[in-house]
């Protein structure tokens, strides 16, 4: 593998579902959750799984775009903020609210949502070292130079080997 080349970490549906359920198990004993705010788009799937497992019916979205070309993180763009009714729960600071995302990478997106809901509990399925301090709960840490291929982003295609066979 060439120096500096990103590592690929493909995640299939079964693994993602297992990891999202493990996140729910960790969260089950950490509080009484009044609502989930999922960071779209990646947070939609784990939020649905966590909501089912924990019996949470109030689900809201915050829509933030940071990956504009699926490869490079650019400027943050808040497309839709959190609904004021959800922000108003328990004093308007996010207490009792779970914020769910699939991944924390640099932590920039999570930091932007923390400004909206400073006392919410932030949980992701996967975490990279730069973003890990921004979340309260996560399941799996991957290296910063790893690109996670989520099941909703993949199709079945040939994968070249890591090294070339000169034979």
From 102, 136, 145, 165, the catalytic residue: 102
Active site residue 101: yes
The model carries a pTM of 0.85
Parent domain of 41: 7-149
From 101, 136, 145, 153, the catalytic residue: 101
From 105, 145, 165, 166, the catalytic residue: 105
| Structural domain includes residue 42 | yes
CA distances from 75 to 68, 78, 127, 159 (A): 9, 10, 20, 31
Active site residue 105: yes
Looking at the structure of the chain, the number of domains it has is: 1
| Structural domain includes residue 48 | yes
Rg (CA), the chain: 17
| Structural domain includes residue 156 | no
| Structural domain includes residue 144 | yes
Query: What is the residue-level pLDDT of the chain in tens, covering all 167 positions?
Result: 455 677 999 999 999 999 999 999 999 999 899 999 999 999 999 999 999 999 999 999 999 987 656 566 678 999 999 998 887 776 788 999 999 999 999 999 999 999 999 999 999 999 999 999 999 999 999 999 999 999 998 877 777 777 776 65
Active site residue 136: no
């Amino acid at each position: 593998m060439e120096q500096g080349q990103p590592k690929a970490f493909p995640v299939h549906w079964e693994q993602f579902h297992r990891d999202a359920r493990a996140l729910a198990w960790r969260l089950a004993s950490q509080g009484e959750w009044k609502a989930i705010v999922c960071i779209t788009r990646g947070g939609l799937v784990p939020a649905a799984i966590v909501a089912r497992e924990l019996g949470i019916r109030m689900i809201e979205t915050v829509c933030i775009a940071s990956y504009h070309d699926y490869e490079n993180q650019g400027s943050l763009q808040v497309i839709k903020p959190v609904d004021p009714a959800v922000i108003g729960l328990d004093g308007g600071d996010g207490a009792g609210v779970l914020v769910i995302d699939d991944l924390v990478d640099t932590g920039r997106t999570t930091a932007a949502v923390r400004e909206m809901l400073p006392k919410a509990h932030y949980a992701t399925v996967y975490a990279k070292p730069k973003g890990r301090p921004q979340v309260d709960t996560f399941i799996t840490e991957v290296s910063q130079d790893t690109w996670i291929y989520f099941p909703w982003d993949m199709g079945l295609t040939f994968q070249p080997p890591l090294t070339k066979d000169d034979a």
